[in-house]
């Protein structure tokens, strides 16, 4: 039997989303990791809107030498997301890892956001 990794990730994500809900007072920090980039956004699920978003695609125009899929880039994205959200008045969030393991790039993004002042 062949295991489809995409279907497995989607199944895990649905299972996590049953418990993780973003509210107006504590929105959801959703992380999506592809092979080339990492994306993060803060979502209010009650209204169904994205409050703040950033990704490694946005960093290509800046002065970073090595942009792509590595932990250093994830740290920069996490710091950038935290600074944007604090400007918007969002300090506490619920973390949604998107069906991925809390390891590597996902962990680097989360730890950088915590260090920059966000609370999980």
Residue 32 domain-assigned? yes
Residue 109 domain-assigned? yes
Read off the CATH number of the domain in which 91 is found: 3.30.420.100
pLDDT value at position 64?
59
Coil, helix or strand at residue 46: coil
Residue 56 domain-assigned? yes
Each residue of 27-68: pLDDT tens digit? Answer: 999 999 998 889 999 999 899 999 999 998 887 655 555 666
For the ranges 31-35, 67-71, 107-111, the maximum mean pLDDT occurs at 107-111
Q: What are phi and psi of 59, to 5 degrees?
A: -80, -10
pLDDT at 2 over 80: no
Q: What are phi and psi of 87, to 5 degrees?
A: -65, -35
Which residue range forms the structural domain that includes residue 71? Answer: 5-115
Each residue of 80-104: pLDDT tens digit? Answer: 999 999 999 999 999 998 888 999 9
Query: Alpha-carbon distance 17 to 116, whole Å?
Result: 25
Residue 61 domain-assigned? yes
Residue 41 domain-assigned? yes
Residue 120 domain-assigned? no
pTM of the predicted model as reported, rounded to 2 decimal places = 0.84
Domain count, the chain: 1
Question: Could you give the percent of the chain with pLDDT greater than 70?
Answer: 91
């Amino acid at each position: 039997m062949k295991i489809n990794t995409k279907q497995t990730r989607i199944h895990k994500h649905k299972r996590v989303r049953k418990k993780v809900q973003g509210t107006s007072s504590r929105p959801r920090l959703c992380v999506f990791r592809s092979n080339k980039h990492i994306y993060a956004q803060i979502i209010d699920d009650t209204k169904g809107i994205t409050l703040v978003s950033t990704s490694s695609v946005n960093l290509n125009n800046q002065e970073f030498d090595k942009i792509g899929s590595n932990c250093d880039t994830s740290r920069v994205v996490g710091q950038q997301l935290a600074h944007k959200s604090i400007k918007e008045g969002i300090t506490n969030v619920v973390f949604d890892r998107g069906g991925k393991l809390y390891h590597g790039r996902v962990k680097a993004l989360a730890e950088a956001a915590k260090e920059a002042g966000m609370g999980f």
